[in-house]
Amino acid sequence: MDMGKTKILIVGGSSGMGLALARRYLDEGATVIIAGRGEAKLSAAQEELSYSGSLEIAVVDISREDDVAALFQRIGRLDHIVSTAADIAGAYRLLPEIELSAAQRVVESKFYGPLLLAKHGAPKLSANGSLTFVSGIAAYRPAARGAVVAAVNA
């Protein structure tokens, strides 16, 4: 597939599915921007993926609307936006033990973050562009102690 003129933003692109997707699109000739909160993780992913294609990194916290708006101001026109981002640290606990802040981070990264990406990113998409938001298997097969993650994914 010739993706030479395609520009794709992958939020959560420094690890897991996002990193694999970035590698695939770079191999196909796309321009890829991987975004996330951790500059060190993004830089490591950039180094790992540097063998091919046009790759940029962008530090952004998708739970902050000003960060998301600034991201789209910087990167301009896009063809596709993908989010695999999930902040689930501390969320796999029995409900009596879970910190509200951990539950809030799950909601911010898996619900509000994609909402903000759509709000600010859709106007930057090409006519044939797409938004893809990955929920997760927890929506269908909740893990033990994963009620919060399952609820947000669903």
The continuous run of DSSP H or E covering 149 comes out as helix 147-153
What pLDDT is recorded for position 51?
66
Domains of the chain, by residue range, sit at: 7-87+112-136
For residue 53, is pLDDT > 80?
Answer: no
Which among 75, 100, 103, 78 is positioned nearest to 88, based on CA atoms?
103
What pLDDT is recorded for position 52?
62
Q: Which fold has domain 7-87+112-136?
A: Rossmann fold (3.40.50)
For residue 83, is pLDDT > 90?
Answer: yes
Rg (CA), the chain: 16
pTM greater than 0.75 (yes/no): yes
Mean of all residue pLDDT scores within the chain: 93
